[in-house]
Every structure is written in C-alpha cells, then in structure tokens.
Amino acid sequence: MAGKPKLYYFNGRGRMESIRWLLAAAGIEFVEEFLETREQYEKLLQDGALLFQQVPMVEIDGMKMVQTRAILGYIAAKHNLYGKDLKERALIDMYVEGTRDLIDLIRVHHKFSPEEQEKNLALINERATARYFPVYEKVLKDHGTEFLVGNQLTWADVQLIEAILMVEEKVSTVLSKFPLLQDFKTRICNIPTIKKFLQPGSQRKPPPDESYVVTANRLD
C-alpha cells in the first residue's frame, strides 16, 4: 500500500495551497515537511529531488513531482476530479486557468508596499466582480447543476471555492451581486471533506504573515 503523499514547501499558502485543497477535497491524508532553512532546500537540490530547482514538490506514488499544474492534474485525474471525457477536461482546464489568474493576484499581495497593496486590492475586487465571477455565475446558470462541469465535484469547483474564500478575506462583500455563487459556496463548503478542511486545526494555511515572508525570502 502506498504511503501518504508528502508535501515539501514553506509553512504557508503560496503555490502549495491549491494542492492541499485538492488532496483534502479528495479525502486524501497527506504529510508535510516545512522548509525553514536554506540547508533543507539545498539538500533537496543535492538529492536531485527538485527537477527545476523549485518547490512545491510532492512525493506521491513513487514520484517526486514538481510544477504545480502537473501535480494538480495528476491528483485530479487519480481521484476522479477531472471529468468523464476530453470535453469535460477542457472545460475544467479553462475554468481552473481563469481561477488561477485571480488567485495569483491575491497570492502576491503580501509582497507589495502599503500603497501598492491598496492598488492591488482595488484590482482584485475589479477582476473578481467584473471579469471572473460573472463568468462562473453564468456557467452555473447555463449548466443548471450544482457544479461547474458535469454532475459531480471536479477540480474546477475546488479551485473556485478556494478563490472565493481568498477574495472574501480581502473584500467580504464580493459575492453580494452573485446569488448563484453564494449558493455554490454554501453547497461546496458543506461537502464533508471540504467542511473538514475548513475547520480550525486542519492543514489549511492562514493568509501570509511576516514570519512566512521572512522564511520564503531566506530560501529564495
């Protein structure tokens, strides 16, 4: 029997958080090794574990996988979160890539000066309410089911709920004009595996703080 996936990253969200989300949604237990020193990172490099000299890295099924998109795609395909055919996968990929663009705006927010953060916050709100969330509101309306693609939970749903909650941390009223997304949020957050991940004490990480920034810069 294969062991639990092992995640190598900082003790924070960054590019690993979507991987944590997807594993959690699939009901897969995982362990983490937090990189806190340059020596830990150098050892991974010396061992040849980081193909492109970058984390995230995930040990899973005898592989040392790098590149976030590849890791997520493997987990989604393995755990039946990637649609039933090529057309569904194409839709999932489109929605995931759109949501990723929004998440990336938030992911780098802590790196900016206070003045830049104010501008970026306005950009996050504008992109969420004028570009991305109207699309997903329409998709839910047109598709007519509880999910973005097909009739069961997929990677697209998981990444969208991650993005919604991240935006709400910055702009609490962001869903006020999107009733279908409000319902979507309630439904998805009540799926047992996701509900568990949202509980205090889970492996979900909080927004970046100063300690996370210092550690990430030390290893950069």
Average pLDDT, the chain: 92
Q: For residue range 26-76, list pLDDT tens digits in order.
A: 999 999 999 888 888 888 888 888 888 788 999 999 999 999 999 999 999
Q: Worst-scoring range by mean pLDDT, 38-42, 93-97, 133-137, 160-164?
A: 38-42
41-50: burial string, b at 16+ Cβ within 10 Å, e else:
beebeeeeeb
Is this model's pTM higher than 0.85 or not? Answer: yes
Across the beta sheet with 6-9, the strand order is 31-34, 6-9, 57-60, 63-66
Percent of the chain scoring above 90 in pLDDT: 73
Domains of the chain, earliest start first? 6-79+198-218 (3.40.30.10), 86-191 (1.20.1050.10)
Residue 149 DSSP SS3? coil
Is residue 128 over pLDDT 80? yes
pLDDT at 47: 83
Where does the pLDDT of residue 1 fall: very low under 50, low under 70, confident under 90, or very high at 90 and above?
very low
Count of CB atoms situated within 10 Å of the CB of 177? 12
pLDDT at 41: 81
pLDDT at 38: 82
